[in-house]
Chains A and B, each alone.
Chain A
Amino acid sequence: MAILEATRLAKRFGPVTAVHDVSITVAEGEVAALLGPNGAGKSTTLHMLLGLITPDAGTITLFGMELARHRVEALSRVNFAASYVDLPGPLLVQEVIDVFARFYAVRRPKERVAEMIELLELGPLRRRRLMDLSSGQRTRVQLAKALVNAPRLLVLDEPTANLDPYAGDRIRGLLSRVARESGAAMLITSHNMREVERMCDRVHFMAEGRIVAAGSAAELAGHYGAEDLEEVFLKVARG
């Protein structure tokens, strides 16, 4: 069953066509990737799916509800993290997670905050301010925030972009586990092709605002006569 269905999305900013005729479906429990070179329209597409940008054309349906009409209900079951978004720096780690637990109307926020702190191994950091944490630690808090409502769709825009290989590997392991155990669907953008190969069931390639290829990593490699997804990426980027 599709929990996200975007049909024929289009977006122009002045003379620039950022997204053209993009359709994406994400099924329950599926981990999908949206890949492409810089400026391909990935973030614009994700932001339309999250209601941050209003599409010029096309429809977005989340959990069978049209996003434009049922924003609150739809977004209650979604969450988001991105490398370019931060959380309020002066707040303590436990305060940040608590605030977002309340934004998502979590039933027992205190218990849920404790669960997230344990899950993300944030215990020793719980009473530290966000602004005093390292990039890796902040990413873990971002994920705690992103998981606090047990979302059925998790949207992640380059979640490991600012992390060293060890921290990135920890986050990938955690996300794979979340996908496996909770059944949450994920839609991820990344420039790390090994990360995508490891985590994702399906890949959508974008270039110049369009989806130019879609399939599993193995299917795409076969289609393009490539050894791996990185080679596919280079072939797509070079047109």
Chain B
Amino acid sequence: MTSLPLPHDMTLAPLSFAARRSRVLGVVRRDFAALRRSPIRIFEILFWPTVELLLWGFVTLFLRTQRVPFVVAFLLGAVLLWQVLQKASNEISIAFLEDIWSRNLLNVQVSPLSSTEYLVGLVLFSLGKVVFAVAVMAGLAYALYGFGVTSLGVGLVPFMGVLLLLGWSLGLVGIAAVLRFGENAQVIAWSLVFVVQPLAGIFYPVSVLPAPLQAVSWFLPASHVFEGMRTVMAGGAVPWDRLAWAGALDVVYLGLTLGLYAWALGYARRHGKLSRFGD
């Protein structure tokens, strides 16, 4: 057995930028390593988006034969952007749930990793997975249906940005629900984003919804993205005013959900729930 290493200057100053970067990248490295060692997870990242792309792609091919204008681009653009929202939401929740499933949550919570650093790490890794999945889907959409995602023009980046922020907010609500109500609330983490789906005018204009639901829809940042996408694809300009409103809503929701997460973590600590996860 080797001699015991001495602890002199073993760690960086805990509040320094270098220490914070180390902890955030620790989260990213852990999630990347877990993904790399789980071929089924890699397969799963691409499987459902591809199934959805194929399904809606064939639907649009059929509708094109019926001479429905613009529908191919509308639906394929919607499928691609919907994946941004869904993946941003689910990936951040899953990363948290994996700490529970592997009974590792206590190790994370007693480490000097702060809540902010933990969440930034989760967000960075989920961003990587979203970009990867969307890039593969965009390539498939072009190869199979001749749909180029660049047809969304300069609006593509802000469209995706708005959806990412909303997805992360929804993911945080899912995590907060698990912290507050325990592991049985996992279903909320998985399904919350699907509550948004019918209200956000993803595959149809918001005007199709009944008036009361339209009022709700305009408070969803995603609704402005999908309406804006259809405007651009119909040859209009990027509706920057809509995007600004959507961005402002995102900021408000992100602030609220961060507050909700902090409250739920405090609740879990007060009620001893962290200790009981994975029992």
Contacts and interface: CB of A to CB of B under 8 A. Distances in A.
Say whether chain A's binding surface is mostly helix, strand, loop, or mixed: mixed
A88 B9 CA distance: 28
Nearest to A55: B270
Given A47-B275, A119-B4, A103 B15 contact: no
Interface in B5-21: 5-7, 9-12, 14-16, 18-19
Contacts of B102: 86-89
A105 B33 contact: no
Most chain B CB within 10 A, of A72, A79, A101, is at: A72
Contact of B34 (A13, A51, A91): A91
Given A86-B103, A92-B37, A107-B12, A75 B4 contact: no
A105 B278 CA distance: 27
B110 A51 contact: yes
Question: B interface, how many residues as a size bin?
Answer: 35 or more
B2 interface: yes
A105 B107 contact: no
A101 B278 CA distance: 24
Nearest to A51: B110
Interface in A157-179: 177-178
Contact of A80 (B1, B25, B103, B110): B110
Given A129-B37, A150-B5, A150-B7, A75 B112 contact: yes
Nearest to A56: B270
Q: 4 shortest A-B CB distances, which residue pairs?
A: A150-B7, A102-B26, A105-B19, A86-B103
B271 A13 contact: yes
Given A86-B102, A177-B4, A92 B110 contact: no
Contacts of B110: 50-52, 75, 78-80, 155
Contacts of B278: 86
B64 interface: no
23 contacts: A44-B275, A47-B275, A51-B110, A52-B109, A52-B275, A54-B270, A75-B112, A76-B11, A78-B110, A79-B110, A80-B106, A90-B38, A91-B33, A91-B37, A99-B30, A102-B26, A102-B29, A104-B111, A107-B10, A112-B5, A145-B107, A181-B4, A182-B6
Interface string B236-279: 00000000000000000000000000000010011110110011
A187 to B, nearest CB: 13
Where chain B touches its partner, the secondary structure class is: loop
A217 B26 CA distance: 41
B98 interface: yes
Contact of A105 (B1, B22, B269): B22
A43 B276 CA distance: 11
B104 interface: yes
A121 to B, nearest CB: 7
B114 interface: yes
Nearest to B107: A85
B108 interface: yes
Contacts of A182: 4, 6-7
A73 interface: yes
A115 interface: yes
B87 interface: no
A84 to B, nearest CB: 7
Nearest to B9: A107
B188 to A, nearest CB: 23
Contacts of B12: 105-107
Contacts of A50: 110
Contacts of A104: 11, 111-112
A56 to B, nearest CB: 8
A86 B105 CA distance: 9
B113 interface: yes
